Amino acid sequence: MEFSELIRTGQAQAELLRGPEMPPLRGTLCVTGHHLLLSPGPQATPDLWLLLLRSVDSIEKRVAGDAGTITLRCKDLRVLQLDIEGVEATLDIARSIEALSSLESVITSFPFFYRPKGLRLGEAWHFHPPERYYKRIARETRAWRLSEANEDFSLCPSYPRAVIVPRAVDDDALARSARFRQGGRFPVLSYYHAPRGTVLLRSSQPLTGRQKLRCAEDEELLRAVLAEARPGARGFIVDTRSAQAAKQARMTGGGTEAKAAYPGWKRLHRPLERGRPLQESFVRLMEACGDPEQSMDRWLSRLDGCRWLSHVKEALSTACLAAQGMEWEGACILVHGAEGTDSTLLVTSLAQLILDPLSRTMAGFQELIEREWIQHEAPIFLLFLDCVWQLGRQFPLSLEFGEGMLLALFDHSYASPFGTFLCNSEKERCLCEVRTRTHSLWSGLNQPKEQRKLRNPLYVPNPLAIWPSVEPQSLRLWQGLFLRWTHPPEPSEVAWEKVWQIATDQKTEGSQPTDSASEPQP
Amino acid sequence: MEHIRTTKVEQVKLLDRFSTSNKSLTGTLYLTATHLLFIDSHQKETWILHHHIALVEKLALTTSGCQCIRSDPVIQCKNFRTVHFIVPRERDCHDIYNSLLQLSKQAKYEDLYAFSYNPKQNDSERLRGWQLVALAEEYKRMGVPNSNWQLSDANRDYKICETYPRELYVPRIASKPIIVGSSKFRSKGRFPVLSYYHQNKEAAICRCSQPLSGFSARCLEDEHLLQAISKANPANRYMYVMDTRPRHRMQSWWATQKDIGRIIVRISSKIWNDEKIRESDGKKRLNAMANRAAGKGYENEDNYSNIRFQFVGIENIHVMRSSLQKLLEVNGTKGLSVSDFYSGLENAGWLRHIKAVMDAAIFLAKAIMVENASVLVHCSDGWDRTSQVCSLGSLLLDPYYRTIRGFMVLIEKDWISFGHKYSERCGHLDGDPKEVSPVFTQFLECVWHLTEQFPQGFEFNEAFLLQIHEHIHSCQFGNFIGNCQKEREELKLKEKTYSLWPFLLDDQEKYFNPLYSSTSQKLAALEPNTVSFNFKFWRNMYHQFDGTLHPRQSVFNIIMNMNEQNKQLQKDVKDLESQIKQHKNKQTDGVLTKELLNSVRPESPALKTSLCLKEQTLLPVNDALRTIEGSNPADNRYSEYADEFSKAEPAVVSSEYGVARMTC
């Protein structure tokens, strides 16, 4: 496809307003296949301002006299205003942006064209996350095996080629179990909790339907999980829907595990909001955050009304419950909702951060995201990042990555020059050859120059589980994200710089003598 | 002593206030003359000062269906600790309950802890402690007396105003008869005096009380004094009069007090008359006067070239007291949902009040910084809201008040010396509960909000604020006892009690802010942003004893330690450098230098590990709990859900009920 067909005009003179705290930029505006650029002209600083068109969420245009204004709302929550000379130019640019920002095709997206200096294609891709993870757990237990039953994605298009399953269950049984689960997402291992020999599994809902169908292989799979863990081990199914909703799902072919069919397993219902209500909650929060003039009462009432922090609390509590089941009860945990692709992943990934010190390192966190998350472009991924931020606030020394990392993940999940967050399933990713034709986000983020933004200077490895407080008094609005563009917290950034300084002084001076000491002044 | 019948009770349970499963610690309860002490089975001690007890309640317990009132004491403290004891024998329970009722309320000052507290210092040490914060020096630091301001001896013997200090600074041109006359016109004799002088701007913050009601005549002396204040500022001829009370309250008040309205108008118009009257303004002035006489408000202040009135809307002590009460009811609720928390926060109005105080202080600071104008601040009596606004305003303007020592000076000046009624507002003695109000707590909270917004602007940290709050109620030191300087002198506090400040200074490494940047020019005058987003619930104050709600690790502590280590390392480097120099002087041999350096190296890993281990050594009082690495799920409320774990039926049974019980 030719982008040039979609570009109505080459360039125009414009002024860009980026919010109250930033000076306006003036120069030549230009639309390319993937970017909007503003070049300040030869006499000014040579800095080029660049916006990835994919990150445009919505566009408004207004014309008056012989000039026009375009307002861009971006997916990273920024609002930009462009004042453009010439009515025709304004309309052409607006149409070009509209057309280019809404392109659906993956393989024409920018990551397939992005070739930065210093990075090599194929670098830092976690080609086989389950395989890597399996190597780790194989050192601890023989009860699990790596199955390639899904090699051609015939069992489940949204699973990777290889999955970790109980050794006692063969591939045929997996295929049957997959047919009994929505979208083929049969129960697979998400995390092996070595200290207690227990496991965290995830799946989608069983397709019991009105007739209360059963599936022997599915039942056998879960029986094998308990048998492998330890004689008499118990299991808990954390269903992320209410009991009522789970029951209603039978009308549309879904359902829940029948008690009689899964001896040793007990269901716990912990309803978590997702999809539309979560999206609305997010939108209402953003509206509240966009109004600096409102009174205290109005602000508190909107903060209450949007319910975002309630969702944070529920997500964290449910993850803690799952983690507690493993750590304190020595039980196996299976998490699922309906499709098993949103709130399920929220719970399994948070539970791992709570229990597993490795997942709290920079590398471990990146692997965790690769392994657990399928769709990033949804408020549920943002909810996950918010929950991680809350963990980091309560345990400021225990995460190797800082707020900057979470913000970067948020930005890149919506629009990115890197390929990591492209596509919504492993199958698609393979079809598009994402891993060989685009750069991995991690290779970009792991460059030394990025580290100061992303790392937590105060990190000290903590081998213990981190149990957060989920009381409303302990949870805070993530200002660094929700108020990032409207209310930049400048003094605290300076303070953070000072923290870095103190921490790095510590490291350099603590580990080696300084230059001045080795070369004393005469 | 006569109130204590039982001094020791064993097998007492201390309930966790947020645990729904009634988690408790068992231990022994001791009752001493000054403290209640609980030692649990892990030998952890919980000390509660009797003076900190705000309320002792009996709890209605439901035991197997029948409800009976036991006297198990639930104790609410002024430092926001809440404890609930269960005492096995009803008789002991009753005794302790009654003793606490008596001990927590003292009838006379002499029974307060400060009069028996003995930190083993001799008289001269004690006296030196009291001299540590000297206000005379502080006024000198500000730059008064000078050609425009002088020290007045009018109140030397507290004859003009009992609640003011002896030494007061007034405009040089204000004669004694003017001061006396003005004091008669102002409530409690609190006439306009200097609170803070801004040396660069030559502008002043002054404070006073409201004009007295019942007068129908104007007070020329008061008008003169206001004029004198405005003339003492060579840079700007107009001044602001800030009434810190809400306008809507004042309007109804003015309606019943038209006389006063007229007096104020006359003051203003008198000054206005001194300026050149322009014909065209005459009509406007008449309108304004008509409005004022009808109590309709003050929109047309701008007509008066000398005085600009400003209402800033801080509510009175009663509103504040009930607001805090509502706040504490909300955050003390077991099983609080996010929604209940925020709607409770909204209904309590607490943060709205904090914002109002902050906005007032900002207005004051801007008037001086931007307009070079002097400001006269008053409320009703001029010892609550006026103290809040004057002290916060000075804190914004002058970085000295943001240091540990400067903050002590600020409290001594604007609060203690100008007669903030600590004993009544904190309920030190068994008195009128309507006089109790968290005015000073609000001031500390405003400062905390500023420290959050300007992490590098303050020499002290949050622990310092919490410690001061602890001691306004503890009555352990003499500083906050009594309601004004005269009363304090009569109580001979400087002879019989100790000052808090030297004790805080001895411990000051606990209170340092490691991020403090004393030289930053940007932070000379603070310009906080009071957009609503910036106001947060101060968990570390209102939940300071509820360890489970706090972050599990403290950034401040680790940075403090790193800073200490860095300093030590820098010192080591210097020492080594000078050693090298010495050696070099003796023998110019490079090999030796290398040897010396290598000898440092093995030490460094040890230093690094000690960093992690030493983390707890610099903790402020209550911080021990917050740094529990990893903590414990049983401390948290999701553990309730875990009750479902234990309820699980054995695997065999479930198959019997099977499909029929599918719905779960």
Q: Which of B77, B206, B219, B379 is catalytic?
A: B379
Q: Are A289 and B631 inside 8 Å of each other by CB?
A: no
- In the structure, what pLDDT confidence band is assigned to residue A109 with cuts at 50, 70 and 90? confident
Question: Angle B555-586/B603-613 helices, nearest 10 degrees?
Answer: 160
- A468 neighbors A390 (Cβ within 8 angstroms): yes
pLDDT tens column, B156-213? 999 999 999 999 999 999 999 999 999 998 989 999 999 999 999 999 999 999 887 5
How many CB atoms sit inside 10 A of residue B244's CB?
Answer: 28
> What percent of chain B is predicted at pLDDT more than 90?
50
Q: Is the dihedral of CA A69, A74, A80, A84 positive or negative?
A: negative
Per the prediction, chain A carries an average pLDDT of: 85
Cβ pair A27, A39 in contact under 8 A: yes
The Cα–Cα gap between B489 and B78 comes to 26
> Which two three-digit tokens encode residue A107?
């393989």
Confidence of residue B612 (pLDDT cuts 50, 70, 90): very low
> CA B378, CA B381: separation in Å to the nearest integer?
8
CB neighbour class for A142 (10 Å; exposed up to 12, middle 13-18, buried from 19): exposed
Beta-carbon separation of B638 and A300 below 8 A: no
Collapsed DSSP state (helix, strand, coil) of residue B48: strand
**pLDDT value for B105:** 86
Checking if the pLDDT of B267 tops 70, the result is no
Q: Which residue spans of chain A are classified as CATH 2.30.29.30? A: 3-103
CB distance from A392 to chain B under 8 Å? no
Lowest mean pLDDT of A447-456, B1-10, B289-298, B497-506, name the range. Answer: B289-298
Q: How far apart are CA B270 and CA B227, in angstroms?
A: 10
Measured between alpha carbons, how far is A243 from A63 in angstroms, rounded to an integer?
Answer: 54
Q: How many CB pairs under 8 A join A and B?
A: 250
Mapping DSSP to helix (H, G, I), strand (E, B) and coil, where does residue B72 land? strand
User: Is A212's Cβ below 8 Å from some Cβ in B?
Assistant: yes
Distance CA A348, CA A518 (A): 51
Q: Is B390 a catalytic residue?
A: no
Residue B54: both structure tokens together: 């705000």
- Chain A window 101-120: which residues touch B at a Cβ cutoff of 8 Å? none
pLDDT confidence tier of residue B291, bands split at 50, 70 and 90 = very low
Among B461, B484, B439, CA closest to B163? B484
**Does residue B282 have a pLDDT over 50?**
no
Contacts of A13 (CB under 8 A, 6+ apart): A26, A27, A28, A29, A84, A85, A86
**What pLDDT score was predicted for residue B294?**
37
Tell me: ipTM over 0.90: no
Which amino acid type is present at position A80?
A: L
Name the phi and psi angles at B460, rounded to 5: -105, 165
SS3 A63: strand
- Give the residue-averaged pLDDT of B31-45: 91
CA closest to A323 among chain B residues: B633
Look up residue B57 and give its two tokens.
């309640």
pLDDT of residue B278: 37
Say what the pLDDT of residue B646 is: 56
DSSP of B577-615: HHHHHHHHHH---HHHHHHHHHHHTTHHHHHHHHHHHGG
Structure tokens at A437: 């034709």
* pTM for the whole structure: 0.86
* Cα of B28 vs its chain's centroid, Å: 34
Alpha-carbon distance A11 to B34, whole Å?
A: 80
Q: What pLDDT, on a 0 to 100 scale, did the predictor assign at position A244?
A: 93
> A463-503: per-residue pLDDT in tens?
888 999 899 999 999 988 898 887 666 666 677 777 777 77
The label of the residue with tokens 């920002």 reads: A101
Q: Are B171 and B190 in contact (CB under 8 A)?
A: no
pLDDT at residue A184 tops 60: yes
Q: What is the mean pLDDT of residues A329-352?
A: 93
- Tell me whether residues A324 and B633 touch, CB distance under 8 A: yes
Mean pLDDT of chain B: 80
| Chain B residues near residue A301 by CB distance under 8 angstroms | 342-343, 346
Kindly report, residue by residue over B39-93, the tens digit of the pLDDT.
998 888 999 999 999 988 877 665 544 455 666 788 999 999 998 888 888 888 8
Question: Which helix or strand (DSSP H or E) is residue B39 part of?
Answer: strand B35-40
> Are the CB atoms for B476 and B426 separated by under 8 Å?
no
d(CA A187, nearest CA chain B) in Å = 20
The pLDDT of residue B407 is: 98
3-class DSSP state for residue B421?
coil
Please list, in sequence order, all residues whose beta carbon lies within 8 angstroms of the beta carbon of residue A367, skipping any fewer than 6 positions away. A126, A129, A132, A133, A359
Distance from CA of A131 to the nearest CA of B (A): 30
Residue B6 has what pLDDT?
A: 82
Question: In angstroms, what separates the C-alpha of B614 from chain A's closest C-alpha?
Answer: 13
Best mutation site among B18, B337, B342, B559 for testing chain A: the one with the most A CBs within 10 Å? Answer: B342
For residue B416, which of B479, B490, B357, B356 has the smallest C-alpha distance?
B479
pLDDT class of A188 with cuts at 50, 70, 90: very high
CB proximity A43 to B under 8 Å = no
* Cα distance between residue B388 and residue B386, in whole Å: 5
* B514, B531, B664: residue with CB nearest A502: B514
Residue B569: Cβ within 10 Å count: 21
CB contact under 8 A, B533 and A483: yes
Cα–Cα–Cα angle for B595, B598, B600, rounded to 5 degrees: 120
Chain-chain contact of A234 with B648 (C-beta, under 8 angstroms): yes
Which residue of A21, A213, A300 is the best one to mutate when testing the B interface, meaning the one whose CB has the most B CBs within 10 A?
A300
CATH number of A3-103: 2.30.29.30
Bond preceding residue B145 cis, omega within 30 of 0:
yes
β-partners of residue A335 are A202, A238
* Whole-angstrom distance, CA of residue B221 vs CA of residue A160: 88
Interface test with B, best of A397, A399, A505, A511 (most B CBs within 10 A): A397
Q: Are B18 and B97 in contact (CB under 8 A)?
A: no
Query: Which residue in B544, B604, B662 has the most chain A C-beta atoms within 10 A of its own C-beta, making it the best mutation to test that interface?
Result: B662
CA distances, A252 to each of A209, A248, A266, B297 (Å): 7, 8, 23, 66
Cα–Cα distance measured from residue A90 to residue B371, given in angstroms and rounded to the nearest whole number: 44
Contacts of A295 in chain B (CB under 8 A): 352, 532
Report the residue of chain A nearest B558, measured CA to CA: A458
Q: How many helices (H) and strands (E) does chain B have?
A: 26, 14
**Interchain pair B629, A495: CB under 8 A:** no
Q: Which residues pair with B30 in a beta bridge?
A: B8, B37
Cβ within 8 Å of B, A 310-339: 310, 312-313, 316-317, 320-321, 323-325, 327-329, 331
Please tell me if residue A211 touches chain B, with a CB cutoff of 8 Å.
no
Nearest CA in chain A to B551: A394
What would the mean pLDDT of A80-101 be, rounded to a whole number? Answer: 83
Task: Give per-residue pLDDT as tens, A352-383.
Answer: 999 999 999 999 999 899 888 877 677 899 99
Cβ of residue A471 closer than 8 Å to a chain B Cβ? yes
